[in-house]
């Protein structure tokens, strides 16, 4: 993909690039009051949900095209450098947004998961020059996320960015969507020029967690934040719990610590190098330990094969989850992270034991 650096987009002067506004444009008065309050707080890109893809019919699905007219009315009341962003989910949405001269488009998680939808959106974008941000699909599939952006790039769009909004899961955690930060970082590693925006509102699902997640995104060198803001969150028509007032948004942004990628301080860099060497050594020890663990897994697999014992045993898995969670708590480690780590380790162990069983059945 050919990706133009964010500094050339004309939308973000400083880091982080803050995109904020209501989950839904409900009334012209509500949108106008919220937008003007955000601009007063220094926000230069206003977001608004014009079309709302909802899980179930009968809920509020957005005002639609009329809200684009509200946005253009607001333009006359704000400085020229203020931009406006909306979500598009169909080719018709793209056409109507472009006709209304919307500055930034984003594609939601329910759209990026569908290659046919992404291709329709890409085809509607062909021949235009507009920034397009793509949210990660609802499921943790990096290839699907990349594929969605490749379709946009195939239409000739070069101002492409990614929005990390977390991933759906059946597991209960303190977040609405599991962050799985490593997937966003892997995407950034593969495409260093790709602007990475964090959507803490949808990761959190709770306004009380937005500041924490926003700082985490900054610590991981994200380029910007998309945060839902409403003049009266408690009475919002959609996603009330995850929206903040413009005043609270300002407090969150002003309270952020923006780390630098490196330091000119020679002593500091020397200390950082030494600490990274310690990390490398500890990681090597982790791999050595995992290798030893897999040797024991193979022995257990051979025992199960020879004694006709089932590979997967729920009672043992429940025991592992309970004890490892307790160990994590004792050591001050994040229990959700340890759950995810041991899920992967356990799945790998089960696969190895299944291979042993299949070799027996094949007479190997």
- Please give the Cα distance from 148 to 162 (Å, whole number): 10
Return the percentage of the chain with pLDDT > 70, whole number.
Answer: 96
Which tokens is 145 given? 């996320």
**Minimum mean pLDDT among 135-139, 250-254, 351-355: which range?**
351-355
Give the pLDDT confidence score for residue 216 in this predicted structure: 93
Phi/psi at 229 (nearest 5 deg)?
-135, 140
Overall average pLDDT of the 10-23 stretch:
91
Given a cut of 70, is residue 264 above it in pLDDT? no
Mean pLDDT of all residues in the chain? 91
Tell me what pLDDT residue 269 has.
67
Closest-CA residue to 103 (of 77, 68, 127): 68
Nearest partner of 44 among 68, 7, 10, 67, judged by Cα: 10
Q: 6-254 belongs to which CATH class?
A: alpha beta
User: What's residue 277's pLDDT?
Assistant: 84
> Is 231 within 8 Å of 24 (Cβ atoms)?
no
- Residue ranges, CATH 3.20.20.70, the chain: 6-254
Share of the chain above pLDDT 90, in %: 67
DSSP sequence for 291-304: HHHHHHHHHHHHHH
* Mean pLDDT, residues 122-151 taken together: 96
| Class of CATH domain 266-361 | mainly alpha
pLDDT at 261: 60
Q: What crossing angle do the helices spanning 28-40 and 65-75 adopt, rounded to 10°?
A: 40
pLDDT at 85: 97
Work out the angle between the directed axes of helices 91-99 and 65-75 (0-180°, nearest 10): 30
pLDDT over threshold 80, residue 290: yes
> Range(s) for CATH 1.20.59.10 in the chain?
266-361
Q: 22 with 230: CB under 8 angstroms?
A: yes
> Taking Cα atoms as reference points, which of 282, 287, 218, 214 lies closest to residue 249?
214
Q: What pTM value is reported for the model?
A: 0.77
| C-alpha distances in Å from residue 270, one per residue of 277, 279, 284, 289 | 11, 14, 21, 29
292-309 pLDDT per residue, tens: 999 999 999 999 888 888
Q: Is the pLDDT of residue 266 over 60?
A: no
Residue 355 has pLDDT above 70, yes or no: yes
Is the pLDDT assigned to residue 267 strictly greater than 70? no
């Amino acid at each position: 993909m050919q990706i133009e650096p964010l500094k050339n987009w004309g939308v973000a002067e400083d880091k982080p690039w803050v995109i904020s506004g209501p989950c839904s444009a409900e009334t012209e008065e509500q949108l106008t009051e919220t937008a003007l309050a955000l601009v007063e707080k220094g926000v230069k890109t206003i977001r608004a949900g014009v079309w709302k893809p909802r899980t179930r019919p009968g809920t509020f699905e957005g005002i639609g095209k009329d809200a684009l007219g509200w946005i253009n009315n607001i333009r006359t009341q704000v400085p020229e450098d203020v931009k406006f962003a909306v979500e598009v989910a169909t080719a018709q949405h793209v056409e109507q947004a472009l006709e209304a001269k919307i500055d930034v488009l984003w594609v939601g998680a329910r759209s990026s998961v569908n290659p046919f939808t992404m291709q329709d959106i890409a085809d509607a974008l062909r021949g235009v020059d507009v920034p397009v941000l793509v949210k990660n699909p609802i499921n943790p599939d990096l290839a699907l996320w990349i594929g969605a952006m490749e379709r946009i790039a195939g239409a000739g769009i070069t101002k492409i960015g990614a929005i990390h909004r977390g991933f759906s899961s059946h597991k209960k955690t303190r977040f609405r969507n599991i962050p799985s930060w490593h997937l966003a970082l892997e995407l950034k590693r593969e495409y260093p020029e790709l602007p990475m925006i964090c959507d803490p509102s949808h990761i959190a699902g709770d306004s009380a967690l937005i500041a924490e997640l926003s700082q985490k995104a900054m610590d991981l060198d994200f380029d910007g934040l998309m945060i839902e803001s409403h003049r009266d969150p408690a009475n919002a028509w959609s996603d009330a719990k995850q929206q903040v007032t413009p005043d609270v948004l300002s407090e969150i942004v002003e309270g952020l610590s923006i780390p630098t990628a490196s330091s000119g301080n020679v002593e500091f860099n020397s200390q950082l190098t030494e600490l990274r060497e310690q990390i490398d050594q500890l990681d090597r020890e982790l791999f050595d330990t995992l290798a030893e663990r897999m040797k024991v897994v193979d022995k257990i697999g051979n025992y199960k094969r020879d004694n006709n014992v089932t590979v997967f045993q729920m009672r043992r898995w429940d025991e592992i989850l309970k004890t490892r969670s307790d160990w994590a708590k004792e050591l001050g480690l994040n229990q959700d992270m340890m759950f995810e780590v041991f899920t992967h380790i356990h799945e790998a162990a089960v696969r190895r034991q299944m291979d042993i069983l299949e070799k027996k059945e094949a007479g190997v």
